[in-house]
């Protein structure tokens, strides 16, 4: 099973700042990595798939990069609605599909 770790656990930032979230896989997942955003009381929402492709309707301030075992989600300039929990997920070697533990982006 591929284990995903995310850092930091919590990121405290202000609106307008740049957010950089990290996801590391226990073995290579090639480019088969996605990012989801989850707000309280809501289901997760797909942001990025295949490392760097934005899902439908996702603003350009969200971008993904990386390959192999190290991946990054960048939010170029935080908007108030971006404060949420972010999960990475891999589909390289499944079952099982696995998710990371999440990074919470909260208001500084």
Binding site for another protein (CB under 8 A): 1, 32, 34, 36, 38, 43-46, 49-50, 55-56, 87, 89, 91, 94-102
Chain-centroid distance, C-alpha 5: 11
Helices (H) and strands (E) counted in the chain, each on its own, are 0, 11
Measured from the CB atom, the residue of 36 and 62 that comes closer to another protein is: 36
Burial (CB count <10 Å: 0-12, 13-18, 19+), residue 47: buried
The token pair that represents 14 in the structure block: 């202000």
Min dist CB 29 to another protein, Å, is 11
Measured from the CB atom, the residue of 61 and 91 that comes closer to another protein is: 91
Measured from the CB atom, the residue of 16 and 95 that comes closer to another protein is: 95
């Amino acid at each position: 099973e591929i284990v995903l770790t995310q850092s930091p656990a919590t990121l405290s930032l202000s609106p307008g700042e740049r957010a950089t979230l990290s996801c590391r896989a226990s073995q290579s997942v090639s480019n088969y990595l996605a990012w989801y955003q989850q707000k309280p009381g809501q289901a997760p929402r797909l942001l990025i798939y295949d490392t760097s492709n934005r899902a439908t309707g996702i603003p350009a301030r969200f971008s993904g990069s990386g390959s192999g075992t190290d991946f990054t989600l960048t939010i170029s300039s935080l908007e108030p609605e971006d404060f949420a929990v972010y999960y990475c997920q891999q589909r390289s070697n499944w079952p099982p599909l696995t998710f990371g533990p999440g990074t919470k982006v909260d208001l500084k």
